Amino acid sequence: MRKSYFLILALVIAGLIPSIAFSEEVFDPVRKIYMNDGKVVECQMGWLDGARMICRKFGGNMTLPLQSVDFARTFPKYKKPPEETVLLVHPGPRYQDENIVLSNVRVIRAPENPAKTDLSANRGQNPPQAVSTIVIEITNRGDPCEVKVSLNAMDVLGKVLHQFDVTSESRLDTGESTILKRRLDAAGADLGNLMSTLKITRVERSNILESVLKNGGTDYSADGIKDKIRQEKIRALKEMLLKERP
């Protein structure tokens, strides 16, 4: 009886895993996948997995290349510009610690200058070149800081194609949510169609404004870490002088 109970419990938990993994509303699992050729694929549940979509059916899972999916119709909550192509998406939280949360890691391709995509206004000229970009949604829950995210771009076999660093343009305030971007130029320019997954390997914080008030204060020093070290040295020196007094 107990074995049956634990088996049922395990099946229930397993069934909840996709819902937990895809907690971000924009990329919630779907029941219909709209294809670029006009076809509609019915699923028990369909979800994003890097450069592909997984469609769960009664007979098993079906894998669909993401570039064959009509992304705008399948995920209408994602406000995709008409000229943008989504190449890869890892939905929901992808990294989380006490300070930083990274979500919805993706690679998109769009013209370098979207304002010039109007063919009627650019007759006789070469169309603007499309560029691929890594996009990461970030929330800073710790002290104000700058952030660098390192990622490995891997192919369908799990081979590392290239490593990218994506950095914040400025210091992020406590509680601030924003988007980090890294254009794939130079060595990464030709990897857009080869990537299958992006794996976060390291997250670094720098230029931290550490709080100098210990009782829930909100003031920050210009260089919190150096101030803290200096204060510790002063405290240690005072203790040493007090011990040496007769």
pTM confidence score:
0.72
> Is 81-209 assigned to CATH 2.60.40?
yes
Domain ranges of the chain: 1-66, 81-209, 212-246
- pLDDT digit string (tens) for 67-113? 999 999 999 999 888 889 999 999 999 999 999 999 999 999 988 77
The CA distance from 137 to 108, in Å, is 13
pLDDT digits (tens, 9 = 90+) for 25-47: 899 999 999 999 999 999 999 99
